[in-house]
Chains A and B, each alone.
Chain A
Amino acid sequence: MKILAKTGNEAMAYAMKQINPDVVAAYPITPATEVVQIFSNYVADGEVDTEFVAVESEHSALSACCGASAAGARVMTSTASQGLALMHEILYIAAGNHLPIVIALVNRSLSAPINIHCDHSDTMGSREAGWMQLYCANSQEAYDSIPIALKIAEACGVPAIVSTDAFIISHCMDRLEVLEDDEVQKFIGEYNPKYFALDLENPKTYGPLDLQDYFFEHKRSQIDAFSKVLSTYNKVAKEYEKLSGRYYPAVEEYKTDGADVAIFTAGSTADTAKEVVDELREQGRKVGLVRMRMWRPLPVEEIKAALGKFKAVAVMDRSDTMADFGGPVFLETRGILYDLDKKPIITDYVYGLGGRNVEIADIVRVYDEISEIAKTGKVKKLVTYLGVRGEE
């Protein structure tokens, strides 16, 4: 096994190199620019056979990816924030046409105000587009998730986004265990789609007009394909564990045994929260952590099983829904837990927007408050904006 020192962006670019996609069409944007740059170097140095299309916008990046994928190529791209927003129209088209494109994404806040730092509003704003979403907690996970996502995408005909936190992961050097190129190749296998637009023997029309008489069935079949993603994920993640020794469940539990309360969060904050849990556990406090890694499709049963056992849960959301009712993870989690006979009390902490640092003390405060709620059964504030000036 090889051990390297790489940032999140370098790790994702390295995984792309080992995948050696047929086509990469991409456009630079901070903080994902490096992924595109590093990959261009691989192309320039002949380390990959990829046809690199340096497009003039993210809209064209994803459009070219769709064309290439429809043509039968294995296709990847990279973006963040405004770039994903500019792709928004085409995200739905890629998914609706079952094109298994993978985006190596860095989560950055959306304008306005303009800001280049981390929050999850970009991908959370694209939840309904029909892409699998994996949120990574560190570079190693980002590296590992790229081939995992590709394999699932191609197996299910569902495109996928693998994301890391802007700067916190994308630009921080970390220890990285990598596979050999041929191990990655063997793991992902060859891509031979059943239908492809360069199949000259069987000309077809891709992306036709679909009216009241068929559209609904086709949408239903897309949802059907999506419903196979989670079970495929569970299989592929196990397969990857055999290969690498690293296993990533869709929903990760950390020290939840005997815990009364838990934080439920995603991305790098989960790694920070683990440190806090360790400390509080040493003090004898009954706290745990649940990390959401997959947020599309929703791992519903896993979330019920993981969160159902607590007296109280604090969701930490790194974006807001502008519903005046908290963040998306909070809202959807409440929906998932609704069916349980015995449900935990659940509150939301919207935190870290625009890269606002989340400190150990912030997380300790969340554990303190949620422990108090578990004890008293009383919720003083359903949604808290953590660490914002002017909030008490």
Chain B
Amino acid sequence: MATLKELAKRTEGLVGGHRACAGCGASAAIRQILLAAADKPTVCGICTGCMEVVTTIFPFTAWNVNLVHNAFENSAATTSGMEAAYKALKRKGKIKGDINFIAFGGDGGTYDIGLQSLSGAIERGHKMLYVCYDNEAYMNTGYQRSSATPYGAHTTTSPSGKKIPGKQQKRKDLTEIIISHDPAYAAQATPGYYMDLIKKVEKALAADGPSFINVLSPCVPGWGYPSEQTMNISKMAVETLFWPLYEWQDGVYTINVKPREPKPVEEFLKLQARFRHVFKPGNEHLVEAFQAHISRQWERLLRKEEASK
């Protein structure tokens, strides 16, 4: 695995000057991912969404590698086409050497509108890495709910109103859906644990087939917290078991971080304005339900790890 020192010497794939909010978790994650990939030429695809919008406003681009943006729901299909072109052109001798193919999409572009495109691309076995930068809502269009938005969260389409306190549905377990495709590699990560993320990107790119990393990426205005808190919140998501760091390869689950004494999920929730209403008197049941769900998911993951040993 590349050391921090080695990483620091590599050419950045995503450079500064773009228009993401100060403290944007997703742009930090993409920067780390491209650094991890930078030992080989890399070609990327990206869905419409915050990251595409803040980094590519013509005539500027923050990308030092080739990037293709097509539409909101199809960066998996688009990148699979690039990978197919690469194979064909390599056979004809028009292109030489190895290329990393990385497709990016937000949770909206991945869990929701682009799920079919991703499922298809993984099933077809393209050698590419798909990264979902999961900021748990449609941030680009003003914080609307997605199927990655957690239970209870306030978004502009699941508002905490007088009668209904935020999103009433649980989030979808996308990583598990992808694992059931039997990909070459799948993992969950978050930029607060950056060496973990780097290692996972290296593994994913080395795997012989389609790979997937779901990266929980805190969003300053969407989640509602001061911009310097991004990495803390990212870590808190892991320490409260809200976002377990684990990987899956050849049928084996490995949990990468097992907090000795997991913190109650409140510690994660209370840092963010989107959960402010769940701490109002009379809403205690929301936090309890949240905690029960998180604990159940964690227990299930432990059992999966145990069973796959």
Residue of B whose beta carbon sits closest to that of A71: B85
Flag A156-199 by CB within 8 Å of B: 1 or 0 each.
00000000000000000000000000000000000000000111
Distance in angstroms between the alpha carbons of A56 and B76 in the assembled complex = 12
Residues of B within 8 A of A207 (CB): 56, 68-70
Interface assignment of A282: CB less than 8 Å from any CB of chain B: no
> Which of B74, B88, B116, B123 has the most CB atoms of chain A within a 10 A radius of its CB?
B88
Q: Are A67 and B120 in contact (CB under 8 A)?
A: no
Given contacts A22-B85, A209-B56, contact A203 B66 (CB under 8 A): yes
Q: Are A50 and B81 in contact (CB under 8 A)?
A: no
Interface assignment of A211: CB less than 8 Å from any CB of chain B: yes
Interface assignment of A149: CB less than 8 Å from any CB of chain B: no
Residue of A whose beta carbon sits closest to that of B123: A56
State the total of A-B contacts with C-beta under 8 angstroms. 164
Distance in angstroms between the alpha carbons of A72 and B45 in the assembled complex = 15
Given contacts A72-B89, A209-B58, contact A93 B70 (CB under 8 A): yes
Q: Shortest beta-carbon distance, A258 to chain B, in Å?
A: 53
Q: Are A197 and B66 in contact (CB under 8 A)?
A: yes
Interface size class of B (residues with CB under 8 A): 35 or more
Across the interface, B119 reaches (CB within 8 A) one of A25, A56, A68, A199, namely: A56
Interface residues of A in 14-35 (CB under 8 A from B): 22-23, 25
Residues of A within 8 A of B70 (CB): 63, 66-67, 90, 93, 207
Q: Are A68 and B81 in contact (CB under 8 A)?
A: yes
Residues of A within 8 A of B175 (CB): none
Interface assignment of A106: CB less than 8 Å from any CB of chain B: no
Q: Are A197 and B74 in contact (CB under 8 A)?
A: no
Interface residues of A in 27-73 (CB under 8 A from B): 49-51, 53-57, 59-60, 63-73
Residues of A within 8 A of B73 (CB): 59
Interface size class of A (residues with CB under 8 A): 35 or more
Distance in angstroms between the alpha carbons of A53 and B73 in the assembled complex = 18
Residues of B within 8 A of A214 (CB): 58-59
Residue of A whose beta carbon sits closest to that of B94: A72
Q: Are B84 and A90 in contact (CB under 8 A)?
A: no
Interface assignment of B139: CB less than 8 Å from any CB of chain A: no
Q: Are A70 and B116 in contact (CB under 8 A)?
A: no
> Which of B63, B94, B97, B119 has the most CB atoms of chain A within a 10 A radius of its CB?
B94
Q: Shortest beta-carbon distance, B36 to chain A, in Å?
A: 18
Across the interface, B85 reaches (CB within 8 A) one of A59, A68, A205, A211, namely: A68
Interface assignment of A324: CB less than 8 Å from any CB of chain B: no
Interface assignment of B290: CB less than 8 Å from any CB of chain A: no
Interface assignment of A89: CB less than 8 Å from any CB of chain B: yes
Given contacts A71-B82, A197-B68, A211-B58, contact A57 B88 (CB under 8 A): no
Flag B113-146 by CB within 8 Å of A: 1 or 0 each.
0001101110110000000000000000000000
Distance in angstroms between the alpha carbons of A324 and B81 in the assembled complex = 41
Flag B58-83 by CB within 8 Å of A: 1 or 0 each.
11010111111111011001111111
Q: Are A206 and B58 in contact (CB under 8 A)?
A: no
Given contacts A49-B88, A206-B68, A211-B58, contact A63 B53 (CB under 8 A): no
Given contacts A63-B70, A71-B82, contact A208 B77 (CB under 8 A): no
8 residue pairs bridging A and B, Cβ less than 8 Å apart? A63-B70, A63-B81, A67-B77, A67-B80, A90-B70, A197-B68, A198-B86, A211-B57
Given A59-B117, A68-B81, A89-B71, 12 other A-B residues pairs in contact with their CB atoms under 8 A = A23-B81, A23-B88, A25-B84, A60-B117, A64-B81, A67-B84, A68-B85, A200-B41, A200-B99, A209-B53, A209-B58, A210-B58
Binding site for A on B (CB under 8 A): 41, 43, 45, 52-53, 56-59, 61, 63-71, 73-74, 77-89, 91-92, 94-95, 97, 99, 116-117, 119-121, 123-124
Q: Which 10 A-B pairs have the closest CB atoms?
A: A67-B81, A64-B81, A56-B120, A71-B85, A73-B85, A208-B56, A63-B77, A63-B74, A67-B78, A60-B77
